[in-house]
């Protein structure tokens, strides 16, 4: 029984060290409302290329990254659907992912902005008025 | 978390030399500065005699945190122009706190913590809600600070995140433990000088190496929304960040303990000047993130962008400079937070709830154990790197922004009532958190502050109280022997 436990323990220790056999490309979040998302990949090799299709058909390509890293942060994207593919060292396509960007409506943004401005001005009013009263009390 | 296999601009050995040299320097300096601490008040509040120069420096250095040096570039990369500008609005919190600091010193010349004020002003229920909010925020900030240390060291030297994080956390614990608030404020002064010289040098070098035209063209081509002044999320973020900063400063014992520690008449000027000097720093720090497209740098995780860009732009000497500057910024905030949170735990939890009859000698001993325990707790929570700095930080925004109105009106209005203040904190936090998940991290503090303000106004109008300011008398503070109303 003890030897089984030891074997299990050794196996558990080794599990995280086992290299993945297939490539996986994740995008998070898959639907973004601020133009920001992160692509992360795992796989059996090191050097990869990540390509973005600028028109959805992978005929017009932009190489987003080429190297040994395991993730890329994408930001500042306008509304649209963005398709990515991962290539291994032999230039074989090993994984695909899609991200969608739909920014918040401007009306919603201005509504939050207005609420923030109102709270800020009211806070300044409370503090400034209180501080003035404080001065009067002290004098 | 190994997202960046190519990380390590500096040689790991050089990284270790800097870490050890600065670690030893801050610990020895902290111990030396704290040598005159003779009693609990000296340890916790530096004898209440901090002057203008040290006062301004400590306020500024504490506010230059991982927020400014690492999360500001992250937000510039995510929110563009408004990310930087919105971040600099964090200065408003310091400036608005200036009149509050004066008021605090007048009303509670012998107070110890922000919790003391809430208990005496609003009673025990509000006090406990406030303590929960304040401690949650303090832990969030402590963890983000420890994480930032690990991320920075990993990004620049390739040293494992956990090792770098451990070094910075335990270094700050050591000198806070040895020197108390006197050590924290003294090291803050030197750290401020390092931060200012370093940030200005970096900005100048960056301008010299890369032109505006190239940067602008690359951003426009690859990340166009960063230059869009009508980017919806960024518009929402602007006042959210401002109110988050105000909430952080108005409620946190980091700032209250300084208001108590400053000599009479110093608080107002120190906070106002610190705010004005602080405002440009996030813009300078955030600006470098916009160089990412022009330089073709890969940013694997959002919070690594600052160190990566600076190191890429400026080479090894730049990387060393960034290392030293951010190390100083992190240390100056981490130590302040350790000291102030320990005060809150000691005064409001230990003395206020567990041992009301503890004498000053046993409290002085307990103060050191609390710092040590808090350091251990922070270290354990930092070990698994669960989220990015900005996400963690803005999650706490929903909590702290709910305290703005209960604190501000509690200090200036007699009529604000305890039930209203408590409800404002609970409802503000709840709806702020809901908006964090339903809309985005960039509205959590804004919603929380708006809800809290509405509840305070409505409850004050419906059931006005008539608070007697003399109830904030020193004899009724926890340290003065009082256990509550």
pLDDT tens string A8-53: 444 444 444 455 678 999 998 999 999 999 999 998 888 889 999 8
Measured CA to CA, the distance from residue B133 to residue B395 in angstroms comes to 12
Handedness of CA B34, B138, B261, B370 (dihedral sign): negative
Checking if the pLDDT of B237 tops 60, the result is yes
What pLDDT is recorded for position B427?
97
Closest by CA to B71, choosing from B219, B231, B323, B241, is B241
Q: From the CA atom positions of chain A, what is the Rg in Å?
A: 26
Closest by CA to B373, choosing from B345, B332, B331, is B345
Q: Which structure tokens are listed for A69?
A: 């890293």
Helix residue ranges, H only, B34-123 = 40-45, 52-63, 66, 72-79, 81-88, 91-107, 114-122
Residue B94 contacts A where some CB pair is shorter than 8 Å = no
Query: What's CA B151's distance to the chain center, in Å?
Result: 17
A114-128, B75-89, B401-415: range with lowest mean pLDDT: B75-89
Q: Which structure tokens are listed for B460?
A: 């004050």
**Residue in A closest to B453 by C-alpha:** A119
Beta bridge partners of A100: A31, A81
- Please give the domain boundaries of chain B with CATH numbers for all domains: 12-388 (1.20.1730.10)
Angle between helix axes B404-412 and B232-251 (nearest 10 degrees) is 50
How far apart are the CA of B165 and the nearest CA of chain A, in angstroms? 22
Checking if the pLDDT of B356 tops 60, the result is yes
Closest by CA to B167, choosing from B384, B390, B315, B17, is B17
Checking if the pLDDT of B6 tops 50, the result is no
Instruction: Provide the chain B residues 242-271 that lie in CB contact (below 8 A) with chain A.
Output: 242-243, 246
Q: What is the ipTM of this complex?
A: 0.81
Higher-confidence residue of A101 and B42: namely: A101
What pLDDT is recorded for position B243?
94
Checking if the pLDDT of A129 tops 50, the result is yes
What pLDDT is recorded for position B430?
96
Give the pLDDT confidence of B133-146 residue by residue, as tens digits: 998 888 888 888 88
Measured CA to CA, the distance from residue B192 to residue B274 in angstroms comes to 11
A14-23, A58-67, B52-61, B116-125: range with lowest mean pLDDT: A14-23
Beta-strand ranges (E) seen in B345-446 are: none
- Using the beta-carbon criterion (under 8 Å), do A65 and B298 form an inter-chain contact? yes
Q: How far is CA A125 from CA B17, B96, B272, B447, in A?
A: 51, 11, 17, 19
Q: How far apart are the first and last CA of chain A?
A: 84
Give the pLDDT confidence of B275-323 residue by residue, as tens digits: 898 888 888 878 888 888 888 888 887 777 877 777 777 777 777 877 7
Secondary-structure breakdown of chain B: helix, strand, coil percentages, each rounded to the nearest 5: 80, 0, 15
Residue A75 contacts B where some CB pair is shorter than 8 Å = yes
Checking if the pLDDT of B238 tops 50, the result is yes
- Which residues of B are less than 8 Å from A130 in CB distance? 99, 103, 408, 411-413
What percent of chain B has a predicted confidence (pLDDT) above 90?
Answer: 22
Q: How far is CA B30 from CA A96, B63, B176, B373, B455, in A?
A: 54, 19, 7, 19, 44
Residue A115 contacts B where some CB pair is shorter than 8 Å = yes
Residue B466 — φ and ψ, nearest 5°?
-135, 80
What pLDDT is recorded for position B9?
67
Interface probe, candidates B8, B232, B390, B424, chain A, greatest A C-beta count within 10 A: B232
Angle between helix axes B389-400 and B418-438 (nearest 10 degrees) is 150
Peptide bond before residue B329 is cis, with ω within 30 degrees of 0: no
**Residue in B closest to A111 by C-alpha:** B236
Q: Kindly state the helix (H) or strand (E) to which residue B6 belongs, with its residue range.
A: none
- Which residues of B are less than 8 Å from A133 in CB distance? 412
Measured CA to CA, the distance from residue B436 to residue B342 in angstroms comes to 29
Instruction: Provide the chain A residues 15-74 that lie in CB contact (below 8 A) with chain B.
Output: 33-36, 38, 40, 46, 65, 67-73
* Residue B348: how many other CB atoms lie within 10 Å: 25
Measured CA to CA, the distance from residue B274 to residue B95 in angstroms comes to 8
Checking if the pLDDT of B191 tops 70, the result is yes
- Quickly state the pLDDT bin for B387 (edges 50, 70, 90): low
Q: How far is CA A127 from CA A120, A121, B268, B461, in A?
A: 11, 10, 13, 18
What pLDDT is recorded for position A13?
47
Helix residue ranges, H only, B108-209 = 114-122, 124-157, 161-209
What pLDDT is recorded for position B48?
66
Strands A48-53 and A80-87: antiparallel
Query: Which CATH architecture fits A18-101?
Result: Sandwich (2.60)
Measured CA to CA, the distance from residue B227 to residue B410 in angstroms comes to 41
What pLDDT is recorded for position B41?
62
How far apart are the CA of B36 and the nearest CA of chain A, in angstroms? 34
Residue B95 contacts A where some CB pair is shorter than 8 Å = no
């Amino acid at each position: 029984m003890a030897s089984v436990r030891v074997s299990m323990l050794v196996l558990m220790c080794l599990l995280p060290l086992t290299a993945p056999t297939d490539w996986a490309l994740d995008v998070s979040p898959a639907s973004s409302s601020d133009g920001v998302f992160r692509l992360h990949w795992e796989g059996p090799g090191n050097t990869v290329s990540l390509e973005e299709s600028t028109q959805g058909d992978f005929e017009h390509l932009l190489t987003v990254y080429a190297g040994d890293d395991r993730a890329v942060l994408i930001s500042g994207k306008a509304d649209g659907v963005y398709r990515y593919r991962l290539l291994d060292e032999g230039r074989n396509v090993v994984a695909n992912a899609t991200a969608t960007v739909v920014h918040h409506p401007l009306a919603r943004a201005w509504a939050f902005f207005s609420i923030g401005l109102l709270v800020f001005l009211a806070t300044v009013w409370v503090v400034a008025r209180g501080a003035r009263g404080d001065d009067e009390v002290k004098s | 978390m190994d997202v960046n296999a190519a990380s390590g601009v500096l040689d790991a050995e050089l990284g270790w030399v800097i870490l050890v040299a600065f670690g030893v320097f801050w610990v020895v300096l902290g111990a030396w500065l704290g040598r005159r601490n003779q009693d609990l008040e000296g340890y916790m509040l530096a004898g209440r005699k901090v002057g203008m120069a040290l006062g301004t420096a400590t306020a500024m250095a504490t506010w230059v945190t991982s927020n400014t040096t690492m999360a500001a570039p992250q937000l510039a990369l995510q929110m563009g122009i408004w990310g930087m500008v919105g971040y600099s609005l964090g200065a408003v919190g310091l400036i608005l706190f200036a009149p509050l600091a004066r008021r605090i010193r007048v009303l509670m010349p012998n107070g110890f913590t922000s919790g003391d004020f809430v208990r005496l002003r609003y009673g025990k229920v509000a006090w406990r809600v406030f303590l929960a909010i304040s401690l949650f925020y303090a832990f969030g900030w402590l963890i983000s600070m420890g994480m930032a240390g690990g991320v920075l060291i990993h990004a620049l030297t390739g040293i494992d995140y956990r090792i770098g994080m451990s070094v910075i956390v335990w270094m700050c614990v050591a000198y806070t433990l040895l020197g108390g608030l006197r050590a924290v404020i003294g090291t803050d002064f030197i750290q401020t000088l390092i931060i200012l010289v370093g940030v200005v040098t970096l900005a100048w070098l960056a301008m010299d190496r890369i032109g505006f035209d190239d940067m602008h063209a690359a951003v426009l081509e690859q990340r166009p929304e960063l230059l869009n002044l009508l980017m919806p999320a960024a518009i929402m973020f602007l006042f959210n960040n401002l109110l988050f900063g105000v909430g952080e400063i108005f409620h946190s014992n980091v700032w209250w303990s300084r208001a108590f520690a400053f000599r009479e008449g110093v608080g107002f000027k120190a906070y106002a000047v610190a705010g004005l000097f602080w405002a440009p720093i996030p813009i300078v720090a955030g600006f470098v993130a916009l160089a990412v497209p022009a330089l073709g740098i890969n940013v694997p995780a959002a919070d690594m962008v600052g160190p990566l860009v600076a190191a890429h732009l400026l080479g090894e000497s730049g990387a060393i400079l960034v290392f030293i500057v951010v190390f100083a910024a992190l240390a100056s905030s981490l130590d302040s937070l350790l000291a102030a949170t320990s005060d809150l735990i000691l005064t409001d939890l230990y003395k206020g709830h567990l041992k009301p009859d503890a004498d000053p000698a046993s409290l002085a001993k307990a103060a050191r154990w609390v710092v040590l325990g808090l350091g251990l707790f922070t270290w354990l929570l930092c070990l698994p790197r669960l989220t990015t700095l900005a996400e963690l930080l803005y999650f706490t925004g929903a909590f702290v922004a709910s305290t703005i109105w209960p604190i501000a009106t509690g200090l200036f209005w007699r009529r604000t009532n305890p039930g209203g203040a408590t409800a404002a904190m609970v409802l503000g936090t709840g709806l702020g958190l809901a908006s964090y998940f339903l809309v985005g991290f960039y509205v959590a503090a804004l919603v929380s502050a708006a809800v809290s303000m509405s509840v305070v106004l409505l409850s004050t109008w419906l059931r006005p109280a008539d608070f007697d300011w003399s109830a904030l008398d020193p004899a009724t503070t926890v340290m003065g022997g009082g256990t509550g109303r």
